[in-house]
Amino acid sequence: MLDTATATIATGDLVVGLTVTMTVCTALMIWVGLLGRASRATLLWTFAFGLGLLAAYALLATGAAGADVLLHPVGLGFLCGMPALVWSGLRAAQGKRPYAWIGFLQSAASVVILLLTTNADAGFAVFRWLFFASAIGAVLGAIEVLRGVYRGSRFGMPLVVAAGTLLLLSAIGAAGTVAGSNTATDLFFVRGIVIALTIYAICATVSVLFLSNRRPGARDALEALDAYLPEWAMRAIVRERLLRARDRREQSWSFVDLRLDDATDLREATGEATFSAMTRRFEGIVAAVFPAEADLCRVTPGHVTVFASQPVGAVREFVRSILNEVSVPDDQAPTGLRITASAGIVTVDVTTDTYEKLAAAAAAQTAAAQEAGGDRWRRADADLSAS
C-alpha cells in the first residue's frame, strides 16, 4: 500500500516544481523571444508556454481545493497542446504554414474530455491516450529541427531528446491500457508525466530560444547552405558588393525579385508536399539560368531574389527564359495546375542604392506584374512589361 501522506507531499513538490519551471520558461520566452525578436514563431512559442503555465496553476488550484491531482489530472489537459504549438512555431519560423489551431484545439479538447471522463472507470485509460497524442506533437517538433534550415544544428538536440523521452513514456502508458493497470501504476505514471513535461519545457525553451536568436557558427551556416543564401547573408553580401562596385565605379549591376504567382493559393490547393515540389523546380530553374557568379537568395518558399553583375539587357533575357520555362507543363509534376511566375527588375545605382531599397523596389515591380495578371516581368525604371 502507498503511504498517502508521502504521496501527497511528493505530488505537491512535483506540481510546485512544474509551476516554477513553467513560470521561468514563460518569462524567458516573452523577454528573450517575443520582445527580443518578435515574430509569428515566437508568438506561438509564447502561447505554448502560456498553456503550460495555465496547466501548472490549474493543478495548484485543484490541489488546493482538495482534489487529487494525480488520480484526476484534469489540469494537465492544458499541457497536451503545448508540444503541437512548439511544432507550429518551428514551422512558422521557416515560412511554412504553422497549423497553430491544432495545438489550441488539442488543449481545449483534452481538458473537456478529461473533465467528462475523470470519474469513469476508463478515465485513466483516456488520459494515457491523450498524453500519447500530445507526444506525437513533440515528435513532429523534433522532426522539424532534424530537417530543413535547422538540420545539423546542435541547438535542436535538447528538443529532440526531450521529445524522445515523451514518446517513450507515452508508449509505455498506452501499452498499460492494454496490459491493465492499478492505482499504484497510475500514480507512478502521472508522476513520470509531470517530470517529463517539466524536462520538456526546459529543453524546448533552450532549443527554440537559440534557434530563433542564434548567430550561426561556421558549421551551422555551411551545412544549411545550398545554391541559395539565407536573407541575412544576402543582405551582407549585397552591401559588400555595392561598396566595392562604388569604389570601382561599376554600374552594370541588377537586382531581381522572382516569385511564383498565387503561391498562397497553390499551397492551400495542393498541399505542402506538392507545393514543395513546385518550389524546388522553380528554384532549380532560376539557379540553372543565372550564371554561377550571381548571388541567389531564398526569401520564402516560392520567392527568390538575385543580385547579378550583369547589365539589365542580359538580365531581362535570363528572366524571360525563367518565366517561359516555369510556365511549360512538367510531365513529372504531381499536379496538372499551370504554374507561372512573375519578376521585378531593378537597375542598380551603386552610388545611392542599398539592399533594402533594391529589395523594396524589385518587390513593388513584382507585385505590379502579378496584379496585371502574372506570368510577366516589370522594370523599375520602365513602364514596359513582358509576358
- Residue 241 above 80 pLDDT? yes
Most confident of the ranges 30-39, 131-140, 224-233: 131-140
Residue range 62-89: mean pLDDT, rounded? 82
Q: What is the pLDDT of residue 225?
A: 62
SS3 of the chain: CCCHHHHHHHHHHHHHHHHHHHHHHHHHHHHHHHCCCCCHHHHHHHHHHHHHHHHHHHHHHHHHCCCCCCCCCHHHHHHHHHHHHHHHHHHHHCCCCCCCHHHHHHHHHHHHHHHHHCCCCCHHHHHHHHHHHHHHHHHHHHHHHCCHHHCCCHHHHHHHHHHHHHHHHHHHHHHHHHHCCCHHHHHHHHHHHHHHHHHHHHHHHHHHHHHHHCCCCHHHHHHHCCCCECHHHHHHHHHHHHHHHHHHCCCCCEEEEEEECCHHHHHHHHCHHHHHHHHHHHHHHHHHHCCCCCEEEEEECCEEEEEECCCHHHHHHHHHHHHHHHHCCCCCCCCCCCCCEEEEEEECCCCCCCHHHHHHHHHHHHHHHHHCCCCCEEECCCCCEEC
The per-residue pLDDT for 75 is 83
pLDDT tier at 11 (50, 70, 90 boundaries)? low
Q: What is the pLDDT of residue 331?
A: 67
* Least confidently predicted of 72-76, 275-279, 319-323: 72-76
C-alpha 1/C-alpha 24 separation (Å) is: 36
pLDDT tens digits, one per residue of 136-167: 999 999 999 888 667 767 788 899 999 999 99
Cell of 264: 498562397
pLDDT digits (tens, 9 = 90+) for 166-194: 999 988 888 877 666 667 777 788 888 88
Domains and CATH numbers, the chain: 4-218 (1.20.1070), 225-386 (3.30.70.270)
Task: Give the chain's mean pLDDT.
Answer: 84
Residue 337 pLDDT level (bands cut at 50, 70, 90): confident
* Nearest in space to 138 (alpha carbons), one of 168, 110, 158, 166: 166
pLDDT > 80? residue 387? no
- pLDDT higher than threshold 90 for residue 290: yes
- Between CA 39 and CA 58 the distance in angstroms is 28
**Whole-angstrom Cα distance, residue 114 to residue 288?**
56
Share of the chain above pLDDT 90, in %: 44
